Amino acid sequence: MNPMIDFPQTPFGSLAFDKIEPAHFIPAAEHWMDVARGRIANITANDEVPTFSNTIVALEFASKELSIVSSCFFNLNSAETNEDIQSVARELSPKLTLFNNETLLNEALFFRIKWVWKNRDKEQIDSESQRLLKETYEGFVRNGALLEGEERETLKSISEKLSKLSLSFGENVLKETQAFEHYVEEAEDLAGLPEAVVSSAAALAKEKGKQGYIFGLDMPTYISIMKYADKASLRELMYCAYGTRAAKENELNNEKNIQDLVNTRLAKAQLLGFSSHAALTLSKRMAKTPERVLSFLDDLKALAKPAAEKDLKAVQEFASAAGHQGEVKPWDFSYWSEKLKKATLNLDDNLLKPYFKIENVLGGVFEVSSTLYGLTFKRNENIATYHEHVNAYEVYDKDGEFLSLLYTDFFPRPGKRSGAWMTSYRSMYTLGGEVVRPHISIVCNFTKPSADKPSLLTFNEVTTLFHEFGHALHGMMARGTYPSLTGTSVYWDFVELPSQILENWCYEPEALALFAKHYETGESLPKEYVDCIVESQQFMEGYATLRQLNFGYLDMTYHGLTEPMEATVANFERSATADTQLFSPVDGILSSTAFSHIFQGGYSAGYYSYKWSEVLDADAFERFKEEGIFSEAAAEGFAQVLSSGGTVAPDELFKKFRGRDPKVDALLKRAGITA
């Protein structure tokens, strides 16, 4: 039996991860592609006049099982990959691309869609259905439905090529990250590092049959070394290792992949009648045009750069006074800014971590969600998961009705890419009167518990967990009819609003009181620490903002090209980010070659959306600040934003919640950045 074809009976229709093997995916995908082709053939063979119901709705649900198979596969390829899965990915990705192209370029199908679109005034359909019709028609046009003959074949080959290039890019970054090991023999070389990081490195060395310590490039280890290692040479070594991933002269170098991705995306955009990939992408975003994005970035940079320069000067002066010789280098900044933070705010992560045991933080975000939206969470150990460290929860709404499944996956391991993300295994939809609830997952890379200590989070990791949980709420609370419009299926520069707004509760004393308790004594986080956390919102915020703008400009410069890229990646990156750099360039260091967000993760021409969404989240949270962070009316209003997904235009959703269009003032006030 193939559990991706004959879905077994499981609690809440959960995936049978205990039965799924890599070999199941290609036969399952091919089976469901054939089923979908049959359903689409029935649509096009229908003798009746094309209608919203017999064409648009029928197409919306034609591939529902294939979506589950492909979601499962690509989620595993990110969170639990291996050579077998990567081999399947290389075969499966082109097949799925071919199927999508075949659908999007199906002339008979588009004839019916266009008919419904042109006669839409005659259809008696609700606003959600009107939105689905518009998105379906425009989606086909943006994917080449108006192309003819040779141009159609060109588009197909371009799409297949992009799929392979993106996959190759991600594999190279993962392999480079996992291949790196730094062996340290003497404990004195690790001065300043937290005990948990040192013990994890010792355990890894022991596992590999060595005395001493082994460090990898997983995010908790890397950040800890950059912040706390007293030995500058260790910080420099790790900085260079991290910054040269997929940039070395070997078979994992991503520079050719980048040039091919950028130029192939440009070719696709121009084939579809757009001047650039950014112009194509942004035509379906709140920002709408590259010019508006660049203007947005420029306006923020004018305020952030002087603030960032002030931050760097403060760190330089502090480091020099503490005995640091010469200029602060990129690998020195986090170390000395952390010490400055401790000196000025009397606060550092090692003081806070004992109060942020991961189980308590998760319980805290559950309680915040319960207080705001009435949700309850119940762990179910009988639901199969894809790894022993993954937990499954049943989620219920305020009326006690089943809302969603939630999977949590918190610790780094081989086969799991770095970073943190939310994803879904099944979207929410309504079909034939049946409401199908979603299956949501959050994946992070936090410090693992050791033999004698639980997983204790840095405050940044606390905000990361809240961030991803905000995305999860967006998915879990979805209400609607059509899967392509529910949950996180919203414009890309709106999708970060639900995640970023939830981070604000991490800085509120009333919310911290729910979960910030010492893991040994149960003592609540002292008031002076809480005050410092609140104050820390503005610490080095100019520097942090400029760093985000740096990535935004790099993304927009790659994808705003109207002529093929000819420069080397190193020269291109240096030119694109020159005005947002505070340090002299370091030979060999490149952001681009491991910039997975834009070359693998769907953020191409979209990285600006983090700052764009910060404007939205700061302004939206001002309402909670005004009415109370657990205000029933504000929570009810924001629940509408979360549950509506893409069924309503984002501009309308925000305006309904806030009573007006967004303003940047709240963000600048929160960050302490002034004109």
Q: Which residues are catalytic?
A: 468
Burial 144-163 (b: 16+ CB within 10 A, else e): bbebeeeebeebbebbbbbb
Instruction: Report residue 5 as tokens.
Output: 């074809």
CB neighbour class for 87 (10 Å; exposed up to 12, middle 13-18, buried from 19): exposed
CB neighbour class for 86 (10 Å; exposed up to 12, middle 13-18, buried from 19): middle
**What Å distances lie between residue 626 and 227, 466, 653, CA to CA?**
36, 21, 19
In total, the chain counts a number of residues equal to 675
Pairing of the two strands 439-443 and 402-409: parallel
**HSE toward the beta carbon, residue 326, CA cutoff 13 A:** 4
Sign of CA dihedral 165, 167, 170, 174: negative
Pairing of the two strands 213-215 and 182-184: antiparallel
Q: Measured between alpha carbons, how far is 24 from 19 in angstroms, rounded to an integer?
A: 10
Q: Which residue has the tokens 């070719």?
A: 267
**Do the beta carbons of residue 577 and residue 553 sit within 8 Å?**
yes
Q: Residue 336: which of 352, 360, 320, 354 has the closest Cα?
A: 320
Q: Measured between alpha carbons, how far is 136 from 229 in angstroms, rounded to an integer?
A: 53
**Do the beta carbons of residue 297 and residue 608 sit within 8 Å?**
yes
**What Å distances lie between residue 513 and 40, 253, 371, 375, CA to CA?**
54, 48, 13, 19
**Do the beta carbons of residue 263 and residue 271 sit within 8 Å?**
no
Pairing of the two strands 429-431 and 434-436: antiparallel
Instruction: Report residue 609 as tokens.
Output: 């959306």
Q: Which residue has the tokens 């004393």?
A: 509
Angle, in degrees to the nearest 10, between helices 632-644 and 358-373:
100
Q: Which residue has the tokens 């508006």?
A: 292
Residues 6+ apart with CB under 8 A from 55: 43, 46, 112, 113, 115, 116
Phi, psi of 253 (to 5 degrees): -65, 135
Q: Residue 68: which of 13, 127, 135, 23 has the closest Cα?
A: 13
DSSP code string of 606-672: TTTHHHHHHHHHHHHHHHHHHH-TT-HHHHHHHHHHHHHTTSS-HHHHHHHHHSS---SHHHHHHHT
Q: What share of the chain is helix, strand, coil (3-state, %, to 5)?
A: 60, 5, 35
Angle, in degrees to the nearest 10, between helices 609-627 and 541-559:
140
- Please list the alpha-helical segments (H only) found in 80-218: 83-104, 107-118, 127-142, 150-179, 195-207
